[in-house]
Amino acid sequence: MIFSSFAKALGQLSDPRFLRVVLFGIALAVALLIGVYAGFLWLIETFSPGTVEIPLIGPVGGLDTLLGWGSALLMLGLSVFLMMPVASAFSGLFLEDVASAVEDRHYPGLPAVARISLLDNLIDTANFVGLMIAVNVVALLLYAVSGPFIPLVFWGLNGLLLGREYFTLTATRRIGRTAAKALRRRHWGKIWIAGTLMAAPLSIPLINLIIPVLGVATFTHLFHTLNRQ
């Protein structure tokens, strides 16, 4: 079910309407990544007088390094962690465009849905991003004792959050928030697995740029499958 949903999402990359959203989504993901990265450097500059040594990354300075030659490589390395909140922010911005393209091709004849207002999308997105950041900050204690299992813990935790967000948003546009939450509780295990399978490639630089769009498409398919059960 999950893999077939992802395969359908991949298969639609040749659709010009879908591909346009993918390319625009990649550009936005890069812009959001740069923004989050700049904020990260600002925090270092604000709270540390010099540089900070990050494991596997090396020394990181303040905003003056943003335009440095090594900044692009550093940002790619940090994207392993930063793409999680970027993907969370992305979901509400392109949900309608991606979901509509998927439904027009794979689920013709569905009744039209009212477009969720930009304000509601921004509020939901802000809440999800805030929750993801807060949970990961608290989880630093868990990572400290996870040893070689840190990647699995990281993917599992963020997969739970991403699955919850993406499924809730895709389901809400069709059946409303209350019914979406009930459906999510009924199939929470499958949604968690799907979210974890989305979180893992988000940790791979460059490939992670396309995952937010494919994630919305995959969860749109997953919603329609689970809603029929």
**Count of CB atoms within 10 A of residue 158's CB?**
27
Whether residue 63 has pLDDT greater than 50: no
- Identify the pLDDT of residue 49: 56
- Identify the pLDDT of residue 47: 64
**Residue that wins the pLDDT comparison between 39 and 167:** 167
51: pLDDT confidence band, cut at 50, 70 and 90?
A: low
Q: Which two tokens stand for residue 213?
A: 């769009």
Q: Tens of pLDDT along 177-214?
A: 899 999 999 999 999 999 999 999 988 877 887 888 89
| Residue whose entry in the numeric block shows the structure tokens 């740069």 | 34
- Identify the pLDDT of residue 213: 85
What does each C-alpha distance from 218 to 99, 103, 130, 196 come to in angstroms? 9, 11, 24, 13
- Identify the pLDDT of residue 72: 61
User: What is the residue-wise DSSP string for 65-96?
Assistant: GTTSTTHHHHHHHHHHHHHHHHHHHHHHHHHH
pTM: 0.79
Q: Tens of pLDDT along 111-158?
A: 888 777 667 777 777 787 788 878 877 887 887 788 888 889 889 998
Strands (DSSP E) contained in 21-169 are: 52-54, 58-60
Whether residue 43 has pLDDT greater than 80: no
